[in-house]
């Protein structure tokens, strides 16, 4: 134990004037405000040390403390009957099903790495993947899949060179890290617009599987006073130092070079070995029936992981920083404690298990031969006293009440609805709907994503049932949980959110659910990565609150399949604020949603490609005069104001009916309607299946543009003629609006009429050329 009488070398916070304190904080790179630094001194009852200032600088950052968003997030439905673990640890866990009498869960984490990817795109994106993998692994799970929602600037605008560089570097970083680690990438989405020119968004979703009884928690076990604290992985260095506070600041292009040091350096080959070694530790822990704690070492490094492991169990921790393996001698204690070097974990284990743990990492898997200086090391103890204690070279550099360290602070932000000038445009009816369709198919926000997917290993581990690009969601079926399948989707249209943050977020939830339903999976749980601007600006915080309201309403009112009024729970997520430039340009509000879907038999999963000629094509979901945020409007440099809205009850019935139909094997192929509208959904089904289509729009009196290119929610189903009556009967019983709109044919051509008037008549080959040209034109 540390002697209470030991002297701390403190910073005279109380004696400084506000001006002097502000200058001191800035000179040391601390993001604490003057008021926050004074509050640190007040809570400690004395002046703080420099290390203590860094501890609170990170723990009180927006990234770590959720100081602006915590109360708002309480609106989200996080509990449901299928939730094993909600958003309280590194990842959420939802029930998958019972296999041989054992309950299994799907583990999911959803994180952002936006600022790092804008400054150093390759490393920023790669380390974003690495951090999300650690979050899932730390729950005791086998890591089984990745997904990557991405947002980039305008690839054809004035900043196109930088936008293209960032986009290509991000894609390379994701690919090279994920491929080397050996985890399949099964989905994601990408949007481009000028709001992301100076702030790209790189979000990551990671999935794992675990038996419910074998979950490992990110807190110290009961009766663990005296347990060893062991860190594992790369030697601590200066890379990533200050990353958490960097993620909580407005990006300033003038400081881009100095900010690069806050971005971590990835090592996927070390991570590959660490994962396999950790699986071996899990086996030994389960064999010996031990209760342990295990946590990802991400934001805030050793300080954050150890303090949270102790505090969440009602304990304190004592760390000797001299025991930390470092790559550089003479590192300051606050860097050793708070640096965010990648590829590291923290364990809390009984002392009698420590030799086994060290042997697995250091001898059996020889971490030091994979990366110089990498190893497992004992650095401290769990203690009964609820203090966070750091020693360095025999001196005390931090002693703070551990609850004060981990609880964070909270702000009540003002909010104000911004004034906008959105209006509905007056656009003449096009002379050629065929030309319009081809333009939309080649649009960067609609075109084929093959150029991205081909970088990724989508089938490593051998469990991929539906790879990216073949359906609205990716599907895997790990051997351990067969015949169950797991579907994963990600969604959020920033153009809709620009006009209405509420409907943008609600539509993101609904589309994510539709996407997993379209492959036959039951929407089971949601995650959210909430990417917004400066919360200190009332208009920016209003957008955030509206987005959370939209998520909450959609999750509650669409609800779970065959579960009464049980919501589709939000079990994991992340808030990323300050996504704007120093000039005040903010990203479009982006509540990026991921949905986990469960298939009781993965062989029932279907894709979007049309399967045969002579099938019936059905439209589900009304077309409306709500084209705000549509790709069609963007062709004319317009945005609009009437965004797609949702009738949550009808949306619920439609999604649940599609799940039922596919579960009964009554559907040949299915595609949801979103970007580009009905015309794009039909085109993609036709192109991917190499089947022509005859379509008649006589079912609607709306304008042709609104029927073809409106982006209201819906589905297109391909149905065998022999199953048509059974399908219609089920849809009628659920009060789902539907129409027979056409048939498939062998002739490789899409023909669209309204009664006798031919609107579109185009060969699939010409459509395919346009569709596949969009991303090469945008990124090359």
- Is residue 166 pLDDT above 80, yes or no? yes
Q: How many CB atoms lie within 10 A of CB 372?
A: 9
- Is residue 568 pLDDT above 90, yes or no? yes
Cα separation of 653 and 726, whole Å? 17
Mean pLDDT of 492-501: 98
- Whether 704 and 643 have beta carbons less than 8 Å apart is answered as no
pLDDT for 255: 53
Q: What pLDDT, in 10s, does the model give residues 129-142?
A: 999 999 999 999 99
Place of tokens 């005859």: 694
Averaged pLDDT score across all residues of the chain: 95
Q: What pLDDT, in 10s, does the model give residues 391-430?
A: 999 999 999 999 999 998 999 999 999 999 999 999 999 9
| CA dihedral of residues 350, 352, 355, 360 (deg, nearest 10) | -60
Q: Could you give the residue ranges of the DSSP H alpha helices within 567-721?
A: 631-634, 648-663, 677-689, 704-709
Residue 64: closest CA among 217, 199, 233, 246: 246
Which one from 63, 217, 392, 671 is the annotated catalytic residue?
63
Mean pLDDT of 17-39: 95
pLDDT-wise least confident of 13-22, 232-241, 447-456: 232-241
pLDDT for 239: 81
What per-residue string of b and e applies to 349-371 under the rule 16 or more CB within 10 Å gives b? bbeebbeebbebbbeebebeebb
Cα separation of 93 and 81, whole Å? 12
Percent of the chain surpassing pLDDT 70: 96
- Is residue 247 pLDDT above 90, yes or no? no
Place of tokens 């299928």: 82
Mean pLDDT of 156-163: 97
- What is the band of 510 on the pLDDT scale with cuts at 50, 70, 90? very high
Radius of gyration of the chain from Cα atoms? 27
- Is residue 2 pLDDT above 50, yes or no? no
Place of tokens 């054992």: 102
Q: What pLDDT, in 10s, does the model give residues 271-330?
A: 999 999 999 999 999 999 999 999 999 889 999 999 999 999 999 999 999 999 999 988
* 721: its two tokens: 């003629």
63 is catalytic: yes
- Is residue 249 pLDDT above 90, yes or no? no
- Is residue 506 pLDDT above 70, yes or no? yes
pLDDT for 263: 60
Mean pLDDT of 181-205: 97
Q: Is the peptide bond before 483 cis (omega within 30 degrees of 0)?
A: yes
* Cα 541–Cα 637–Cα 647 angle in degrees, nearest 5: 55
- Is residue 601 pLDDT above 50, yes or no? yes
pLDDT for 8: 80
pLDDT for 517: 99
pLDDT for 251: 55
pLDDT for 245: 47
Cα separation of 124 and 503, whole Å? 30
pLDDT for 584: 81
Cα separation of 612 and 593, whole Å? 33
What DSSP letter does each residue of 532-547 carry, written as one string?
Answer: -S-TTSHHHHHHHHHH
Domains with residue ranges and CATH for the chain: 606-780 (3.90.650.10)
110 is catalytic: no
- What is the band of 581 on the pLDDT scale with cuts at 50, 70, 90? confident
Residue 752: closest CA among 690, 694, 704: 694
- Whether 659 and 731 have beta carbons less than 8 Å apart is answered as no
Percent of the chain surpassing pLDDT 90: 93
Mean pLDDT of 94-110: 97
How buried is residue 758: exposed, middle or buried, by Cβ count under 10 Å (0-12/13-18/19+)?
Answer: exposed
pLDDT for 714: 99
pLDDT for 762: 98
- Is residue 244 pLDDT above 50, yes or no? no
Which one from 113, 227, 392, 443 is the annotated catalytic residue?
113
């Amino acid at each position: 134990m540390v002697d209470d009488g030991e002297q701390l070398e403190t910073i005279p916070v109380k004696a400084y004037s506000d001006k002097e304190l502000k200058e001191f904080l800035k000179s040391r790179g601390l993001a604490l405000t003057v008021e926050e630094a004074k509050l640190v001194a007040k809570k400690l009852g004395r002046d703080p040390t420099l290390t203590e200032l860094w501890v609170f600088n990170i723990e009180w950052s927006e990234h770590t403390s959720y100081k602006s968003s915590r109360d708002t997030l309480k609106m989200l439905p996080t509990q449901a009957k299928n939730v094993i673990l909600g958003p309280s640890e590194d990842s959420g866990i939802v029930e998958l099903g019972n296999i041989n009498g054992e309950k299994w869960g799907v583990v999911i984490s959803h994180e952002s790495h936006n600022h790092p990817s804008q400054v150093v795109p390759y490393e920023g994106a790669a380390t974003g993947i690495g951090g999300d993998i650690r979050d899932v692994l730390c729950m005791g799970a086998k890591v089984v899949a990745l997904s990557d929602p991405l947002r980039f600037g305008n690839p054809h605008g004035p900043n196109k060179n930088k936008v293209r560089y960032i986009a290509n570097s991000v894609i390379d970083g994701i690919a090279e890290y994920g491929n080397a680690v050996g985890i399949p990438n099964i989905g994601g989405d990408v949007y481009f617009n000028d709001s992301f020119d100076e702030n790209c968004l790189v979000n990551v979703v990671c999935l794992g599987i675990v038996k419910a009884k074998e979950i490992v928690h990110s807190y110290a076990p009961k009766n663990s006073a005296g347990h060893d604290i062991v860190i594992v992985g790369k030697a601590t260095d200066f890379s990533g130092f200050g990353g958490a506070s960097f993620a909580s600041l407005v990006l300033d292009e003038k400081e881009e070079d100095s900010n690069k040091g806050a971005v971590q350096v990835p090592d996927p080959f070390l991570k590959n070995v660490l994962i396999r070694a950790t699986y071996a530790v899990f086996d030994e822990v389960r064999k010996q029936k031990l209760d342990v704690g295990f946590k990802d070492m991400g934001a805030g490094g050793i300080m954050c992981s150890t303090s949270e492991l102790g505090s969440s169990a009602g304990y304190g921790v004592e760390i000797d920083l001299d025991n930390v393996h470092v790559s550089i001698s003479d590192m300051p204690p606050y860097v050793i404690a708070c640096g965010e070097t990648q590829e590291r974990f923290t364990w809390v284990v009984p002392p009698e298990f420590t030799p086994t743990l060290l042997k697995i990492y250091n001898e059996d898997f020889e971490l030091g031969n994979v990366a110089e200086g990498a190893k497992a090391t004992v650095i401290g103890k769990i203690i009964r006293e609820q203090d966070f204690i750091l020693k360095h070279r025999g001196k005390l550099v931090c002693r703070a009440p551990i609850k004060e360290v981990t609880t964070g602070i909270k702000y009540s932000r003002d909010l104000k609805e911004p004034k906008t000038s959105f209006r509905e445009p007056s656009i003449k009816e096009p002379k050629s709907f065929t030309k319009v369709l081809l333009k939309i198919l080649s649009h960067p926000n609609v075109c084929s994503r093959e150029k991205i997917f081909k970088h990724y290993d989508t089938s490593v581990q051998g469990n991929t049932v539906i790879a990216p690009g073949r359906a609205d969601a990716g599907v895997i079926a790990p051997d351990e949980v067969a015949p169950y399948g797991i579907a994963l989707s990600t969604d959020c249209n920033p153009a809709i959110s620009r006009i209405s943050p509420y409907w943008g977020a609600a539509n993101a939830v609904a589309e994510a659910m539709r996407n997993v339903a379209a492959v036959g999976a039951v929407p089971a749980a949601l995650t959210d990565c909430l990417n917004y601007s400066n919360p200190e600006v009332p208009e920016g915080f209003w957008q955030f609150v509206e987005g959370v309201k939209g998520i909450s309403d959609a999750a509650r009112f669409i609800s779970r399949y065959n579960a009464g009024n049980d919501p589709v729970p939000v079990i994991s997520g992340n808030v990323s604020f300050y996504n704007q430039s120093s000039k005040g340009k903010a990203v479009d509000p982006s509540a990026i949603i991921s949905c986990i879907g469960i298939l009781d038999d993965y062989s029932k999963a279907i894709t979007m490609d049309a399967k045969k000629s002579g099938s019936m094509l059905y439209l589900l979901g009304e077309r409306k005069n709500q084209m705000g945020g549509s790709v069609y409007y963007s062709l004319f440099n317009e945005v609009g104001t009437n965004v797609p809205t949702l009738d949550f009850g009808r949306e619920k019935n439609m999604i649940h009916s599609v799940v039922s139909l596919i579960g009964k094997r009554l559907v040949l192929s299915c595609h949801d309607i979103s970007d580009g509208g009905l015309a794009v959904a039909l085109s993609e089904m036709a192109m991917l299946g190499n089947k022509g289509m005859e379509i008649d729009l006589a079912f609607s009196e709306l304008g042709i543009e609104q029927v073809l290119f409106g982006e209201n929610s819906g589905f297109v189903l391909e149905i065998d003629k022999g199953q048509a009556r059974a399908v219609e009967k089920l849809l009628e019983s659920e009060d789902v609006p539907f129409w027979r709109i056409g048939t498939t044919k062998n002739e490789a051509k899409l023909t669209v009429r309204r009664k006798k008037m031919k609107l579109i008549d185009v060969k699939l080959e010409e459509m395919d050329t346009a569709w596949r040209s969009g991303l090469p034109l945008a990124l090359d």
